[in-house]
Amino acid sequence: MKALASTLIAGLLIAASPASADDVAEFFRGKRINLVIGYGSGGGYDTYARLLARFIGEHIPGKPTVIAQNMPGAGSRGAGNWLYNVAPKDGTVISMLSQATPTDQALGQPGISSQMIDNINASIHVRALLTDVFIVDEILKAKQ
């Protein structure tokens, strides 16, 4: 029984070990990352996201091409729901959504996939969260 427990623990540690930089570079080499912007072109979020798209590929192992793509509507909720429900969950799609998205979800606002922020590890999100992170944390603590 002790040997089985040790084997299980060792297996979990190996499975949980982070991928090496070489593996990440190999995955992203020659790939395209879509940066989905939850707002129309010309605004503040669009400007920030396009600036990010221009330079972030240089800092990701494998140096993938990053393409900015606008998906306006519903204060970026449409893009967030698309990201959660439809987009590939392999790191090839990232987003710039409203900084209020986590707060809106925590408050139970309509139109947000119920577990979009809860499952944030399923995809990579680039957000301007600012103080909303602390607000969401306190709201979620209060709900428990």
Please report whether residue 89 resides in a domain. Answer: yes
Q: How far apart are the first and last CA of the chain?
A: 37
**pLDDT tens, residue by residue, 68-125:** 999 999 888 888 888 888 989 888 998 888 877 777 777 778 877 656 655 544 344 4
63 vs 129, higher pLDDT: 63
Please report whether residue 103 resides in a domain. Answer: yes
pLDDT for residue 135: 52
37 vs 21, higher pLDDT: 37
pLDDT for residue 99: 78
Please report whether residue 48 resides in a domain. Answer: yes
What is the Cα–Cα distance from 102 to 51, expressed in whole angstroms?
23
The 3-state secondary structure of 108-132, one letter per residue: CCCCCCCCCCCCHHHCCCEECCCCH
Residue 50 lies in domain:
21-143
Distant-in-sequence, close-in-space partners of 125: CB < 8 Å, separation ≥ 6 = 83, 94, 95, 97
Number of domains in the chain: 1
Please report whether residue 84 resides in a domain. Answer: yes
What is the Cα–Cα distance from 9 to 3, expressed in whole angstroms?
10
Q: Could you tell me the pTM of the whole model? A: 0.67
Please report whether residue 97 resides in a domain. Answer: yes
pLDDT at residue 131 is higher than 50: no
Residue 128 binned pLDDT confidence (cut-offs 50, 70, 90) = very low
79 vs 140, higher pLDDT: 79
Q: Out of 3-17, 40-54, 67-81, which region has the weakest mean confidence (pLDDT)?
A: 3-17
Please report whether residue 4 resides in a domain. Answer: no
Q: Where would I find the H helices in the chain?
A: 2-16, 21-28, 44-56, 77-85, 101-106, 132-143
pLDDT for residue 11: 43
Please report whether residue 12 resides in a domain. Answer: no
